[in-house]
Amino acid sequence: MDTEHASPEDLAALRAAFDVDDDGESALGWETVRAFEARHGVVLPEPYRTFVAEITDGSFQGPPEFGLVGLEELPGDWGDQRPERDLSRPFPLTSAWMWEDDERPEEELAPLLGPVFDHGSIVLGTDGCGMYWYLVVTGPQRGRVWNICGEGACPFGAESGHTTTAAGFADWVGHWAAGKPWFDALR
């Protein structure tokens, strides 16, 4: 997974998956993407960076189930009582964590959960019921897609053992475009 350079093949596959035919009008443009990055102290991983700059900034057709939200947006079910997200602080996980099964007391777990939801990632969208898809933009998992919900957090990608596809944004979109279930390796 190359998070520094967008391959022409990945960009072509992304264009085809979203069937965008508006000559880039639904994209943000490079000036807006660079301003977002400067404001948040990050550089978005490729090919997502080029995707929002040149192809489109979100899509109602998905993925995930309720559509791909724009770069500066959050899903409609996100809620108003959440802390401000800090994209410049590293995403804290490197492996799956099911806090629902964690035996530590809630007062010990609570301070650990905030960073999982709010540090080092952008929200790509929701499949509903509090199940969100994130793209990590800071830290060791940069460029990888994660699924985070009320029960735990799980990286997307074949190395996690839950799916048959690689872990990057273009791979995640390709998996969806092929009509595969998210957790197809568990079947």
Which token pair is 59?
A: 């899509």
Which token pair is 116?
A: 């999982």
Q: In the prediction, which pLDDT does 26 show?
A: 84
Domain membership of residue 51 (yes or no) is: yes
Asked if pLDDT for residue 22 goes beyond 70, the answer is no
Q: In the prediction, which pLDDT does 185 show?
A: 80
Domain membership of residue 25 (yes or no) is: yes
Per-residue pLDDT of 130-143, as tens digits, reads 899 999 999 999 99
Domain membership of residue 185 (yes or no) is: no
Per-residue pLDDT of 106-120, as tens digits, reads 889 888 888 998 999
For the CA atoms of the chain, what is the radius of gyration?
Answer: 16
Of 88, 182, 96, 98, give the one whose Cα is nearest residue 142.
88
Tell me what percent of the residues of the chain surpass a pLDDT of 90: 59
Domain of residue 51 covers 8-179
Phi–psi pair at 75, nearest 5 degrees: -60, 155
Domain membership of residue 32 (yes or no) is: yes
Q: In the prediction, which pLDDT does 24 show?
A: 64
Q: Which residues pair with 148 in a beta bridge?
A: 132, 153
How distant, in Å, are the alpha carbons of 48, 69, 77 from that of 144?
11, 17, 23
Which token pair is 118?
A: 């709010």
Specify the range with the lowest mean pLDDT, choosing from 13-17, 19-23, 69-73. Answer: 19-23
The total domain count for the chain is: 1
Reduce the DSSP state of residue 168 to 3 states and report it. strand
Domain membership of residue 184 (yes or no) is: no
Domain membership of residue 2 (yes or no) is: no
Domain membership of residue 117 (yes or no) is: yes
Q: What is the pTM of this model?
A: 0.92
Cα atoms in the Cβ-side hemisphere of radius 13 Å centred on 49: 22
